[in-house]
Amino acid sequence: MKSIRFRFLIAALAVTLGAAVGKSQTADSTPPPPRHEHGHGFGMEGHMMGFFAKYLDLTDAQREQMKAVMHKEHSTMKPLMQQIHQMDQQLKQYEEGTYDEAKVQAVVAQQAQTLVQLKVQETRIHNELFQLLTPDQQTKMKEFEANREARMQKHMQSSPASMPQE
């Protein structure tokens, strides 16, 4: 179980790192693609992108290579993200309208399959990006992820105490 969470964290950080690289390009590069509807994972924008590029001290060549990986993978990730968004919208109708458990189960089952595909792709992309790092950068990334995981575990352990008991 810990291994799956660690891999998920690595995948999420890789996507963020790749987006950081893409965002950190100079003004004379091609304009960025339009923002996605709801900022999930792939193509994420924000302060974390620049953070990882600086934190790992990426070279210009690494930034270019990572940007190329992210550009190449955009066409794979975008449809999956759109499918998940559409299924979220379908579920919303059952939250706010007439509830039909069989239909909700069907949508959630379909969404689960799409999430599996998405996580497989994110993990593959992370591996591609991670392989572009030097051994020192890889070590630094692993340390960052281990520290983040420890903070998340600490937070998760303190959260149940604050939740109301039934």
Find the mean pLDDT for residues 150-162: 80
The model carries a pTM of 0.63
> Binning pLDDT at 50, 70 and 90, where does residue 11 land?
low
Q: What is the pLDDT at residue 53?
A: 85
pLDDT at 165 over 50: yes
Q: What is the pLDDT of residues 51-68, one digit of tens each?
A: 788 889 999 899 889 888
Dihedral (CA of 21, 50, 154, 159) sign: negative
Q: What is the pLDDT at residue 131?
A: 94
Q: What is the pLDDT of residues 34-46, one digit of tens each?
A: 443 333 344 443 3
Residues contacting residue 63 through CB under 8 Å, at least 6 positions apart: 21, 24, 25, 53
What is the domain partition of the chain in residue ranges?
2-26+37-143
Find the mean pLDDT for residues 8-32: 48
pLDDT at 132 over 70: yes
Q: What is the pLDDT at residue 32?
A: 43
3-state helix, strand, coil in the chain (%, to 5): 75, 0, 25
Angle at 55 between CA 53 and CA 58, to 5 degrees: 45
Find the mean pLDDT for residues 102-118: 94
Average pLDDT, the chain: 77
